[in-house]
Amino acid sequence: EPEVTQTPSHQVTQMGQEVILRCVPISNHLYFYWYRQILGQKVEFLVSFYNNEISEKSEIFDDQFSVERPDGSNFTLKIRSTKLEDSAMYFCASADDRAGNQPQHFGDGTRLSIL
Amino acid sequence: RKEVEQDPGPFNVPEGATVAFNCTYSNSASQSFFWYRQDCRKEPKLLMSVYSSGNEDGRFTAQLNRASQYISLLIRDSKLSDSATYLCVVREGSQGNLIFGKGTKLSVKP
Protein backbone atom coordinates (compact mmCIF):
# COMPACT_ATOMS: atom_id res chain seq x y z
CA GLU A 1 0.00 0.00 0.00
CA PRO A 2 1.43 3.44 -0.91
CA GLU A 3 2.70 5.46 2.02
CA VAL A 4 3.56 9.02 2.93
CA THR A 5 7.19 9.09 4.03
CA GLN A 6 8.84 11.71 6.21
CA THR A 7 12.45 12.48 7.02
CA PRO A 8 14.14 12.80 9.39
CA SER A 9 12.30 10.82 12.04
CA HIS A 10 13.88 12.97 14.76
CA GLN A 11 15.51 16.39 14.45
CA VAL A 12 17.31 18.12 17.32
CA THR A 13 18.12 21.78 16.73
CA GLN A 14 19.33 24.77 18.67
CA MET A 15 16.84 27.59 19.19
CA GLY A 16 17.10 30.19 16.46
CA GLN A 17 18.31 27.74 13.82
CA GLU A 18 16.46 26.91 10.63
CA VAL A 19 15.01 23.45 10.08
CA ILE A 20 13.58 21.78 7.00
CA LEU A 21 11.24 18.83 7.40
CA ARG A 22 10.75 16.66 4.35
CA CYS A 23 7.83 14.64 3.11
CA VAL A 24 7.16 12.48 0.07
CA PRO A 25 3.40 12.29 -0.41
CA ILE A 26 1.62 9.41 -2.14
CA SER A 27 2.45 9.78 -5.81
CA ASN A 28 -0.98 10.37 -7.35
CA HIS A 29 -2.22 12.65 -4.59
CA LEU A 30 -2.81 16.34 -5.29
CA TYR A 31 -3.53 17.83 -1.87
CA PHE A 32 -0.86 18.15 0.77
CA TYR A 33 -1.00 19.16 4.41
CA TRP A 34 1.18 19.76 7.43
CA TYR A 35 -0.05 19.23 10.97
CA ARG A 36 1.71 19.38 14.30
CA GLN A 37 1.11 17.75 17.67
CA ILE A 38 2.71 19.14 20.79
CA LEU A 39 3.31 16.38 23.34
CA GLY A 40 0.09 15.56 25.17
CA GLN A 41 -2.04 17.83 23.02
CA LYS A 42 -4.25 17.42 19.99
CA VAL A 43 -3.21 17.33 16.36
CA GLU A 44 -3.40 20.86 14.89
CA PHE A 45 -3.68 21.93 11.26
CA LEU A 46 -0.87 24.14 9.96
CA VAL A 47 -1.21 24.50 6.21
CA SER A 48 -2.69 23.01 3.06
CA PHE A 49 -1.07 23.10 -0.37
CA TYR A 50 -2.50 22.51 -3.81
CA ASN A 51 -1.40 23.32 -7.33
CA ASN A 52 1.95 24.64 -6.11
CA GLU A 53 0.56 27.19 -3.72
CA ILE A 54 -0.74 27.50 -0.19
CA SER A 55 -4.50 27.12 -0.18
CA GLU A 56 -5.19 27.59 3.51
CA LYS A 57 -3.20 28.17 6.68
CA SER A 58 -3.91 28.38 10.38
CA GLU A 59 -2.93 31.13 12.80
CA ILE A 60 -0.03 28.92 13.93
CA PHE A 61 1.51 29.15 10.45
CA ASP A 62 3.14 32.57 10.84
CA ASP A 63 5.97 34.21 8.90
CA GLN A 64 8.49 31.82 10.41
CA PHE A 65 6.97 28.95 8.45
CA SER A 66 7.05 28.22 4.75
CA VAL A 67 6.25 25.27 2.52
CA GLU A 68 7.55 24.25 -0.84
CA ARG A 69 7.23 21.48 -3.39
CA PRO A 70 10.57 21.92 -5.06
CA ASP A 71 10.70 18.98 -7.44
CA GLY A 72 7.26 17.46 -7.94
CA SER A 73 7.77 14.74 -5.34
CA ASN A 74 9.08 16.28 -2.11
CA PHE A 75 6.95 18.57 0.04
CA THR A 76 8.91 20.51 2.64
CA LEU A 77 8.13 22.55 5.73
CA LYS A 78 10.72 25.13 6.73
CA ILE A 79 10.87 26.89 10.07
CA ARG A 80 13.19 29.87 9.71
CA SER A 81 14.16 30.68 13.28
CA THR A 82 13.02 27.97 15.65
CA LYS A 83 11.61 28.67 19.10
CA LEU A 84 11.33 26.35 22.08
CA GLU A 85 7.58 26.14 21.55
CA ASP A 86 8.11 24.70 18.05
CA SER A 87 9.06 21.40 19.71
CA ALA A 88 6.42 18.94 18.53
CA MET A 89 5.67 16.04 16.20
CA TYR A 90 5.13 17.31 12.68
CA PHE A 91 2.95 15.18 10.42
CA CYS A 92 2.65 15.46 6.66
CA ALA A 93 -0.53 14.20 5.00
CA SER A 94 -1.77 13.83 1.46
CA ALA A 95 -5.10 13.15 -0.20
CA ASP A 96 -6.39 12.68 -3.71
CA ASP A 97 -9.44 14.83 -2.97
CA ARG A 98 -10.10 17.64 -0.50
CA ALA A 99 -13.80 16.90 -0.15
CA GLY A 100 -16.11 14.03 0.55
CA ASN A 101 -15.02 10.98 2.47
CA GLN A 102 -11.59 10.68 0.88
CA PRO A 103 -9.27 10.37 3.86
CA GLN A 104 -5.93 12.02 4.39
CA HIS A 105 -3.02 9.65 4.73
CA PHE A 106 -0.42 10.59 7.30
CA GLY A 107 3.30 10.03 7.35
CA ASP A 108 4.86 8.68 10.53
CA GLY A 109 6.03 12.13 11.54
CA THR A 110 9.18 14.04 12.42
CA ARG A 111 9.82 14.67 16.09
CA LEU A 112 11.34 18.15 16.35
CA SER A 113 13.19 18.98 19.55
CA ILE A 114 14.37 22.56 20.06
CA LEU A 115 17.08 23.07 22.66
CA ARG B 1 -13.69 28.80 17.04
CA LYS B 2 -14.33 25.42 15.44
CA GLU B 3 -13.98 22.62 17.96
CA VAL B 4 -14.29 18.90 18.25
CA GLU B 5 -14.90 17.67 21.78
CA GLN B 6 -14.27 14.21 23.15
CA ASP B 7 -14.20 12.58 26.56
CA PRO B 8 -10.47 12.04 27.17
CA GLY B 9 -10.99 8.85 29.17
CA PRO B 10 -9.14 6.68 29.88
CA PHE B 11 -11.55 3.87 29.29
CA ASN B 12 -10.19 0.72 30.92
CA VAL B 13 -12.10 -2.34 29.75
CA PRO B 14 -11.56 -6.11 29.80
CA GLU B 15 -11.02 -8.10 26.62
CA GLY B 16 -14.32 -8.91 24.95
CA ALA B 17 -16.10 -5.84 26.29
CA THR B 18 -18.13 -3.43 24.20
CA VAL B 19 -17.11 0.20 24.49
CA ALA B 20 -18.59 3.38 23.02
CA PHE B 21 -16.97 6.74 22.40
CA ASN B 22 -18.78 9.98 21.72
CA CYS B 23 -17.79 13.21 20.07
CA THR B 24 -19.45 16.54 19.37
CA TYR B 25 -18.47 19.14 16.79
CA SER B 26 -19.26 22.84 16.72
CA ASN B 27 -19.52 23.67 13.02
CA SER B 28 -22.90 22.69 11.65
CA ALA B 29 -21.57 23.11 8.10
CA SER B 30 -19.05 20.29 8.49
CA GLN B 31 -19.43 17.70 5.77
CA SER B 32 -17.06 14.84 6.40
CA PHE B 33 -16.30 12.90 9.53
CA PHE B 34 -13.74 10.28 10.45
CA TRP B 35 -12.41 8.20 13.30
CA TYR B 36 -8.64 7.84 13.40
CA ARG B 37 -6.65 5.83 15.88
CA GLN B 38 -3.30 6.92 17.24
CA ASP B 39 -0.84 4.71 19.06
CA CYS B 40 1.58 6.33 21.49
CA ARG B 41 3.93 8.70 19.65
CA LYS B 42 2.78 7.43 16.26
CA GLU B 43 0.90 9.01 13.40
CA PRO B 44 -2.90 9.09 13.20
CA LYS B 45 -4.22 6.19 11.14
CA LEU B 46 -7.64 6.14 9.56
CA LEU B 47 -9.97 3.74 11.29
CA MET B 48 -13.11 4.56 9.34
CA SER B 49 -15.06 7.29 7.64
CA VAL B 50 -18.45 8.11 9.16
CA TYR B 51 -21.41 8.18 6.82
CA SER B 52 -24.76 9.85 7.42
CA SER B 53 -26.59 6.54 7.50
CA GLY B 54 -24.10 4.99 9.90
CA ASN B 55 -21.62 2.34 8.89
CA GLU B 56 -19.97 -0.78 10.19
CA ASP B 57 -16.57 -2.29 9.59
CA GLY B 58 -16.19 -5.61 11.37
CA ARG B 59 -16.28 -4.95 15.12
CA PHE B 60 -16.48 -1.18 14.63
CA THR B 61 -19.69 0.81 14.12
CA ALA B 62 -19.81 4.55 13.53
CA GLN B 63 -22.89 6.75 13.79
CA LEU B 64 -23.51 10.36 12.85
CA ASN B 65 -26.31 12.59 14.13
CA ARG B 66 -26.17 15.83 12.16
CA ALA B 67 -29.04 17.45 14.08
CA SER B 68 -27.19 17.01 17.37
CA GLN B 69 -23.72 17.41 15.79
CA TYR B 70 -22.73 14.17 17.44
CA ILE B 71 -20.57 11.27 16.27
CA SER B 72 -20.11 7.93 17.97
CA LEU B 73 -17.87 4.89 17.68
CA LEU B 74 -18.80 1.49 19.05
CA ILE B 75 -16.20 -1.25 19.44
CA ARG B 76 -17.49 -4.75 20.07
CA ASP B 77 -15.51 -7.69 21.41
CA SER B 78 -12.52 -5.54 22.37
CA LYS B 79 -9.05 -6.93 21.70
CA LEU B 80 -5.80 -6.09 23.44
CA SER B 81 -4.65 -4.59 20.13
CA ASP B 82 -7.50 -2.07 20.26
CA SER B 83 -5.62 -0.22 23.03
CA ALA B 84 -4.91 3.23 21.55
CA THR B 85 -6.21 6.78 21.48
CA TYR B 86 -9.25 7.25 19.26
CA LEU B 87 -9.44 10.58 17.48
CA CYS B 88 -12.69 12.12 16.29
CA VAL B 89 -11.93 14.16 13.18
CA VAL B 90 -14.00 16.61 11.15
CA ARG B 91 -13.12 17.96 7.73
CA GLU B 92 -13.34 21.76 7.54
CA GLY B 93 -12.77 24.58 5.13
CA SER B 94 -12.70 24.74 1.38
CA GLN B 95 -9.37 22.94 1.28
CA GLY B 96 -10.36 20.02 3.44
CA ASN B 97 -8.13 20.55 6.44
CA LEU B 98 -8.92 18.31 9.38
CA ILE B 99 -9.95 19.40 12.86
CA PHE B 100 -9.03 16.86 15.50
CA GLY B 101 -10.47 16.15 18.89
CA LYS B 102 -8.03 15.56 21.73
CA GLY B 103 -8.81 11.87 21.58
CA THR B 104 -10.20 9.23 23.90
CA LYS B 105 -7.73 6.80 25.37
CA LEU B 106 -8.74 3.14 25.44
CA SER B 107 -6.90 0.49 27.40
CA VAL B 108 -8.03 -3.12 26.94
CA LYS B 109 -6.85 -5.44 29.70
CA PRO B 110 -6.55 -9.24 29.64
- What's the confidence (pLDDT) of residue A92? 97
Return the residue in B2, B43, B89, B105 with the most chain A beta carbons within 10 A, the one to mutate for interface testing: B43
Q: How far B1 CA sits from the closest chain A CA (Å)?
A: 12
Q: Nearest chain A Cα to B6, which residue?
A: A42
Strand extents, DSSP E, B53-96: 55-57, 60-65, 70-75, 84-92
pLDDT band at B30 (very low <50, low <70, confident <90, very high): confident
Q: Nearest chain B Cα to A90, which residue?
A: B43
- What's the confidence (pLDDT) of residue A100? 65
How confident is the model over B67-83, as pLDDT tens digits? 999 999 999 999 999 99
The Cα–Cα gap between B88 and A105 comes to 15
How confident is the model over A16-45, as pLDDT tens digits? 999 999 999 998 898 999 999 999 999 999
Please state the rounded mean pLDDT for residues B24-50. 92
How confident is the model over B79-109, as pLDDT tens digits? 999 999 999 999 987 778 899 999 999 999 9
Q: Nearest chain A Cα to B31, which residue?
A: A100
Lowest mean pLDDT of A71-80, A92-101, B35-44, name the range: A92-101
Chain B residues touching A50 at Cβ < 8 A: 95
Is residue B90 within 8 A of residue B32, CB to CB? The reply is: yes
Phi, psi for residue A90 in degrees, rounded to 5: -115, 125
- What's the confidence (pLDDT) of residue A101? 67
pLDDT band at B31 (very low <50, low <70, confident <90, very high): confident
Question: What is chain A's mean pLDDT, rounded?
Answer: 93
Residues 6 or more apart in contact with residue B84 via CB below 8 angstroms: B37, B38, B39, B105, B106
Residue from B25, B23, B36 nearest B84 by CA: B36
- In this complex, do B44 and A33 lie within 8 Å of one another by their Cβ atoms? no
